[in-house]
Amino acid sequence: MRIKRRISRDGRHKFERFEDLKSGLIYRRIYCGFAWPFSAMPSFICVLAEDHKQDYSLQFGPRHLRILDEFESSNLEALHRHCRQIKEEFSLKHILGIDDTPLYQIWNQSKRPDEKIRLSNPYDFEKITLDLISQLVRRHTERGYKTLHFGDQSRLPSYLSALTPEEIEEKDITIYPAIAAFGYCLCEMELRPPVKPSNGWKRRNRSAMVI
């Protein structure tokens, strides 16, 4: 898969979109989430995309969300390589993740400036909880209104279904790296919607400058 970031025009307005050069599919936003390992649980990376077109066959014409990539490992070098590959493959500028940890320094240690991976804190990340993610997943997967698509090979459904009500209520999201990485992307989609294209792209569109 190779995604190209393009600037398009709608009259005098400019906006970004992401085009799959092989399939021709177009996405409005793409986010990559990264979560650090916890105890025996490995780190997790996922890429979540939002369709450019709305689905008017469903009420309110929502856009579908799709998992495009997943990677799980405890090897920091392998994780670093995969993040660099994802940035290039999906035309991303940075990755959603928490940089306030000693592991982040080790992760980028001995890398040239142009090789280092920049992590950007997710929008309102302190408010992202297992309960919030569970509610958002339920909203996107309810019967007759399915707009979240994991794909046949995704490990995320098994991680999500394994959560107990007690864990959802009491545990911190960082204990579950796979759910955290996915949650960073999902909450970014939900909590920071893209603003309308600006006239001549004069103002920085924080949401459309996709992470």
Q: In the chain, what are the domain boundaries?
A: 3-191
The CATH class for the domain spanning 3-191 reads alpha beta
Q: What is the pLDDT along the chain (211 residues), one digit of tens a residue?
A: 789 988 776 666 677 899 998 888 999 999 999 999 999 999 999 999 999 999 999 988 999 999 999 999 999 999 999 999 999 999 998 899 999 999 998 998 878 888 889 999 998 888 999 999 999 999 999 888 899 999 999 999 999 999 999 999 999 999 999 999 999 999 999 988 665 555 544 444 444 434 4
> Which pTM does this prediction carry?
0.88
Of the candidates 178, 200, 158, which has an alpha carbon nearest to the alpha carbon of residue 48? 178
CB atoms within 10 A of CB 162: 10
Determine the Cα–Cα distance for residues 35 and 179; give it in Å rounded to an integer: 9
The CA-atom distances, in angstroms, between 88 and each of 11, 82, 83, 117 are 30, 10, 9, 12
d(CA 80, CA 67): 20
